[in-house]
């Protein structure tokens, strides 16, 4: 099932629960959210789209494998209910041999990823080391069953003419026995959206943006000069807002924001504004 919602100036937001076998990036295995389409060109690249939940269980990260969709239209406003099944995690594999089954390796890998996100001064060295090891050992990224499964409901209200998406996360159905953090991602393609601007006057371009830094400004945007588009989010009480952009060969190509909040928060809502900068 797929839902296409026109907004303005040749733009469409789409979401589908079957990616028709697309395998452009390792994350093609993941369930995506609302993706921007401009004059028929999908702008998401490797990104997961707007309003996509990610769960943390300590160092382990759980991604969406599927979604159940329902939609209702009232005039120019579309409401889409998306119930995500959260059951995948990232694994390392060698082509033709399947994924590596070594828990200690994944503990090191996940700790390494946490260091890259936390310490900006070390990112260049750590990222280069990680990429070099992958190339030397012939590793590739797969997403496989995490041995854990839960569901989370996302509700999108799309105001097409206004270029606004109201997003609400309903976490009342989550398994709370081991989840330590909920993150809701809002990403589009890293090659398309390569500039960052916030209400504090911070302007960053390309690699200056970093892969995961906290936003302190009231409002922040990612901009695509090529398509003359921007998407904007604001601070929300009860959550931390992060920005990031990663562009690594054919493996990573995303730009966007993540809201991080406690799994005890039963409902969390925010807006994404799509506009011409």
Look up residue 168 and give its two tokens: 């609400």
Which domain covers residue 7, as residue numbers? 2-275
Q: Report residue 120's pLDDT band, with 50, 70 and 90 as the boundaries.
A: low
How confident is the model over 86-102, as pLDDT tens digits? Answer: 999 988 665 655 665 65
What distance in Å separates the CA atoms of residue 91 and residue 247, rounded to the nearest whole number? Answer: 19
Q: Poorest-confidence range of 45-59, 139-153, 213-227, 235-249? A: 139-153
Higher pLDDT, 113 or 72: 72
Look up residue 4 and give its two tokens: 């296409």
Are 198 and 204 in contact, with CB atoms under 8 Å apart?
no
pLDDT at 209 (0 to 100): 95
**C-alpha distances in angstroms, 129 versus 59, 124, 126, 213?**
20, 9, 5, 20
Look up residue 170 and give its two tokens: 């309903």
If we measure between CA atoms, which residue out of 272, 273, 227, 230 comes closest to residue 10? Answer: 227
What distance in Å separates the CA atoms of residue 163 and residue 160, rounded to the nearest whole number? Answer: 5
Look up residue 6 and give its two tokens: 């026109």
Q: How many domains does the chain have?
A: 1
pLDDT at 13 (0 to 100): 97
How confident is the model over 192-248, as pLDDT tens digits? Answer: 999 999 999 999 999 999 888 999 999 999 999 999 999 999 999 999 999 999 998
Evaluated on CA atoms 258, 263, 264, 266, the torsion sign reads: positive
What distance in Å separates the CA atoms of residue 159 and residue 60, rounded to the nearest whole number? Answer: 35
Structure-token match 């990680």, residue found: 130
Buried b (16+ CB within 10 A) or exposed e, 10-45: ebbbbbebeeeeeeebbbebbbbbbbbbbeeebbbb
**Strand partners for 152:** 84
pLDDT at 122 (0 to 100): 47
CATH number where 139 lies:
2.70.98
pLDDT at 165 (0 to 100): 98
Q: Percent helix, strand, coil in the chain (nearest 5)?
A: 15, 55, 30
């Amino acid at each position: 099932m797929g839902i296409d919602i026109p907004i303005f100036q040749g733009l469409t937001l789409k979401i589908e629960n079957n990616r028709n076998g697309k395998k452009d990036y390792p994350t093609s295995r993941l369930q995506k959210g609302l993706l921007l389409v401009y004059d028929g060109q999908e702008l998401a690249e490797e990104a997961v789209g707007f309003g996509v939940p990610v769960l943390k269980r300590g160092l382990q990260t759980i991604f969406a494998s599927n979604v159940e969709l329902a939609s209702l239209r009232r005039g120019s406003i579309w409401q889409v209910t998306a119930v995500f099944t959260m059951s995948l995690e990232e694994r390392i594999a060698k082509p033709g041999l399947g994924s590596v089954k070594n828990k200690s390796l994944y503990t090191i890998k996940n700790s390494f990823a946490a260091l890259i996100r936390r310490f900006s001064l070390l990112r260049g060295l750590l990222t280069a080391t990680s990429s070099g090891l992958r190339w030397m050992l012939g590793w590739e990224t797969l997403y496989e069953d995490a041995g854990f499964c839960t569901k989370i409901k996302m509700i999108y209200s799309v105001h097409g003419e206004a270029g606004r998406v109201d997003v609400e996360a309903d976490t009342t159905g989550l398994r709370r026995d081991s989840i330590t953090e909920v993150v809701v991602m809002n990403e589009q393609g890293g090659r398309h959206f390569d500039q960052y601007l916030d209400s504090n006057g911070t302007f960053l371009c390309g690699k200056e943006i970093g892969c995961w830094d906290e936003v302190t400004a009231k409002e922040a945007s990612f901009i695509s000069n090529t398509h003359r588009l921007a998407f904007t989010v604001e601070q929300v009480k009860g959550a931390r807002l992060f920005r990031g952009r990663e562009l690594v060969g054919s493996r990573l190509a995303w730009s966007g924001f993540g809201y991080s909040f406690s799994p005890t928060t039963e409902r969390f809502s925010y807006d994404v504004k799509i506009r011409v900068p």
